[in-house]
């Protein structure tokens, strides 16, 4: 079955497990805004049910939910053009996730690298929710029968699992109900790496704040973090092949390229042969100039939490208008009685 049978619709989300990073912004959020501006129907979610798959302080979680909403809007998500909401306010996500828990196979989930990374060595102590995370993500996407999912590279495997779940559901019940959603992974920074270790992904929940640029960091903090970013002692090469085996250098070049909207080649043709002591301040200036308006807008929005709650309430109503008939049909297909 092809997705042409389905109206195009975009869905994506981020966890309020901390404040958003430059990785979230360059890897996904900027693409969300582009897709909204292309006029495709877009549904963007703050995925707080995903966040609690690892421990979250309740007050910090409430605050981060509003802050992530503010970051979406500050980055250009327009709550009148996109549906912008918070996952727990639309119970259809959790309802559909249960059904997908019964469709997904243990063998599929056992292959998920994010679970392996996040559970660490002591897997016995990981929550069942962390293990079943991809089934909930499939529910997020498929409750809207979304066809496109803009994400960073790390989420590709989960979107592929969503396709497997959709295909198995369609096959088991002999229907053509769900589309096969496609991951949209584009740009020079689909995997932004930690500033402390070029082999590790930049993450909002990394214990070291110096490992990441937060969207709420001020100019001095951004400059300090880039200045202290780990690098080797060689000057920058004059072409991308010279970045081989130099993950930290590659990361900084990719960040520069993504923010400036140019290729890594273009960055290196300007900075090749120059030392990091010259490149890092240039990168900090570029990042600061780009992020300062986003940060300022985020702060202004956070000063009025009641308005954020109003936006989320409105978004949840609009989201439920789409998700409820989908979940009701799924119940019917599966043979579950829903009406009272």
- Closest distance to ligand AQP from the beta carbon of 220 (Å): 23
> 27 vs 237, which CB is nearer to ligand AQP?
27
Which has the closest alpha carbon to 44: 151, 167, 179? 151
Does residue 204 touch ligand AQP according to CB under 6 A? yes
> 23 vs 41, which CB is nearer to ligand AQP?
23
Buried b (16+ CB within 10 A) or exposed e, 148-161: bbbbbebbeebbeb
> 202 vs 223, which CB is nearer to ligand AQP?
202
Question: In this structure, are residues 47 and 84 in contact, taking their beta carbons and an 8 Å threshold?
Answer: no
Does residue 146 touch ligand AQP according to CB under 6 A? no
Is residue 200 part of the annotated active site? The answer reads no
Q: Contact with ligand AQP (CB under 6 A): which of 10, 11, 28, 162?
A: 28
Report the distance separating Cα 92 and Cα 330, nearest Å: 11
Catalytic: which of 116, 118, 121, 225?
A: 118
Report the distance separating Cα 164 and Cα 138, nearest Å: 9
Report the distance separating Cα 6 and Cα 147, nearest Å: 8
Give me the phi and psi of 201, to 5 degrees please.
-65, 140
Cβ–Cβ contacts within 10 Å for residue 277, how many?
10
Is residue 118 part of the annotated active site? The answer reads yes
Does residue 200 touch ligand AQP according to CB under 6 A? no
| Three-class SS state of 77 | coil
Does residue 136 touch ligand AQP according to CB under 6 A? no
> 12 vs 92, which CB is nearer to ligand AQP?
12
Tokens 């293990």 correspond to what residue?
131
Catalytic: which of 204, 225, 228, 280?
A: 204
Does residue 52 touch ligand AQP according to CB under 6 A? no
Tell me which residue has its CB nearest to ligand AQP.
Answer: 27
Binding region for ligand AQP (CB under 6 A) out of 75-83, 168-176, 199-207, 231-239 = 199-207
Torsion of CA 227, 230, 232, 238, to 10 degrees: -60
Does residue 147 touch ligand AQP according to CB under 6 A? no
Strands (E), the chain: 10-14, 42-46, 83-86, 148-150, 182-184
Does residue 23 touch ligand AQP according to CB under 6 A? yes
Token duo for residue 137: 């993500």
Does residue 71 touch ligand AQP according to CB under 6 A? no
Token duo for residue 44: 């963007």
End-to-end CA distance of the chain: 34
- Closest distance to ligand AQP from the beta carbon of 175 (Å): 29
Catalytic: which of 201, 225, 228, 280?
A: 201
Q: Contact with ligand AQP (CB under 6 A): which of 21, 36, 56, 214?
A: 21
Does residue 214 touch ligand AQP according to CB under 6 A? no
* Residues at the interface with ligand AQP (CB under 6 A): 14-15, 17, 21, 23-24, 27-28, 151-152, 154-155, 190-192, 201-205
Q: Which residues are catalytic?
A: 118, 201, 204
């Amino acid at each position: 079955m092809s997705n042409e049978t389905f109206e195009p619709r975009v869905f994506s989300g981020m966890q309020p497990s901390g404040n958003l990073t430059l990785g979230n912004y360059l890897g996904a959020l900027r693409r969300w805004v582009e897709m909204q501006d292309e006029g495709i129907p877009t549904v963007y979610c703050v995925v707080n049910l995903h966040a609690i798959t690892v421990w979250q302080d309740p007050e910090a979680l409430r605050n981060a939910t509003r802050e992530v909403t503010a970051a979406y809007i500050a980055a250009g998500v327009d709550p009148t053009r996109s549906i912008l909401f918070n996952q727990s306010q639309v119970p259809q996500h959790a309802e559909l996730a249960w059904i997908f828990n019964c469709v997904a196979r243990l063998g599929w989930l056992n292959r998920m690298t994010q679970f392996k990374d996040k559970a660490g060595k002591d897997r016995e102590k990981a929550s069942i929710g962390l293990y079943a995370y991809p089934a909930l993500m499939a529910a997020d996407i498929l409750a809207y029968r979304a066809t496109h999912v803009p994400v960073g590279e790390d989420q590709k495997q989960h979107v592929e699992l969503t396709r497997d779940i959709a295909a198995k559901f369609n096959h088991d019940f002999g229907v053509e109900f769900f589309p096969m959603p496609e991951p949209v992974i584009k740009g020079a920074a689909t995997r932004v790496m930690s500033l402390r270790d070029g082999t590790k992904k930049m993450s909002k929940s990394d214990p070291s704040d110096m490992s990441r640029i937060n969207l709420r960091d001020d100019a001095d903090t951004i400059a300090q973090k880039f200045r202290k970013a780990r690098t080797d002692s060689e000057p920058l090469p004059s072409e991308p092949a010279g970045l081989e085996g130099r993950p930290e250098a590659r990361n900084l070049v990719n960040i520069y390229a993504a923010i400036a909207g140019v290729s890594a080649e273009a960055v290196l043709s300007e900075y090749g042969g120059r030392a990091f002591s010259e490149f890092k301040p240039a990168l900090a200036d570029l990042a600061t100039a780009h992020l300062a308006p986003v940060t300022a807008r985020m702060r202004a929005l956070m000063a009025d939490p009641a308005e954020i709650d109003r936006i989320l309430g409105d978004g949840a109503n609009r989201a439920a208008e789409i998700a409820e008939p989908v979940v009701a049909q799924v119940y019917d297909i599966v043979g579950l009685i829903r009406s009272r």
